Amino acid sequence: MLDRSVLFPSFIFPYHSSPHLIHIFPSFSLFPSFSDSVEYCSSSTGTMSLSRCQLFEEGFSAVALHLNDPSCNGTLQDGRVEFLFDNENHTCGTTLRSNSTHFIYENLIQGEANSAGGPISRERRIQLLFCCVYPLTQALSMDMDINPLESVVTKKLPGGQGTYRVRMIPYEDAGFSHAFSGNVTVAVNQRMYVAVRLDGVDSRQIALVMDSCWATPVNQADYHIRWDLIRNECPNPDDDTVELLQNGNSTSGRFSFKMFFFVANTSKVYLHCSIHLCLVASNDCTAVSSPHLEHIRRESD
């Protein structure tokens, strides 16, 4: 995902906008020799380290380089110059954007080769774009019989791409304060509470949306026998016990349903969910709420 380039000025076509004025624009051509860089991403933190020796060979001083925020300079670590941003108190001009499959943190290492100063410069410039990329969609399953407390999915991606964790946790109570421990045994028609939680992202910028959740009689998400609990971000209209309590407005989704069993199969029930992440600032995080759900919730209390 890295776009590495060292840039130097050259001149391109002049054009006449008036009889006595010529505009000449400097442009920049790729200088492809810079290759020794290492990137690390975790949560909303990104680190890029560059070889100090290679910077020196190319005529760039480590102290002259910075991120989008000029106050964010690199630090020397074991012969390398390391640049860091995070989303707490060290954003350094980092931007956040998304496409149809990922959300992306971006920043730029930039600076000029050693210069004598003055109003003009013919020195080369360096501009290295680096990104931390996270997938928007995830799927996870919870084994209700063997290990129901935390069913963890950790997405490990190639260098330059980040990780986050999604957990599905069953609770005994509507306040989501008492998680089940050990084997989960729930009486038929007893209400079951489930939280889907997202760790490792900035909760001020990212929200979790449960697209669908379903149950199967075996621990196989694509098993041909299934019962839908959430469809298209909404409760299954064929199951009026499902309550969608929270969806699309934080890094946690919550729902509940009344326990059941599969008639023709084993007594076990396995839960699965498909989720996606969205940028809070884009206002496209769907939070479902309907009078029908509120009516059901009041009746169950």
Alpha-carbon Rg for the chain in angstroms: 26
Residue 180 is predicted with a pLDDT of 85
Residue 173 is predicted with a pLDDT of 93
Stretch(es) of the chain classified as CATH 2.60.40.3210: 3-135
Residue 107 is predicted with a pLDDT of 86
DSSP 161: B
Residue 189: phi, psi to the nearest 5?
75, 5
- As a whole number of Å, the end-to-end CA separation of the chain is 51
Residue 237 is predicted with a pLDDT of 95
pLDDT in tens, 132-177: 888 888 787 765 453 333 334 444 444 456 778 888 999 999 999 9
Range picked from 41-45, 78-82, 234-238 for highest mean pLDDT:
234-238
Mean pLDDT throughout 198-227?
Answer: 89
- Greater confidence (247 vs 138) lies with 247
Q: Annotate 254-291 with b (16+ C-beta within 10 A) or e (fewer).
A: bbbbbbeebeeeeebbbbbbbbbbbbbeeeebeebeee
- Greater confidence (119 vs 226) lies with 226
Q: Annotate 15-41 with b (16+ C-beta within 10 A) or e (fewer).
A: eeeeeeeeeeeeeeeebeebeebebeb
Stretch(es) of the chain classified as CATH 2.60.40.4100: 137-300
Residue 53: phi, psi to the nearest 5?
-65, -45
Report d(CA 243, CA 259) in Å as an integer.
Answer: 13
Give me the CATH topology for the region 3-135. Immunoglobulin-like (2.60.40)
Residue 118 is predicted with a pLDDT of 58
The CATH number of the domain covering residues in 137-300:
2.60.40.4100
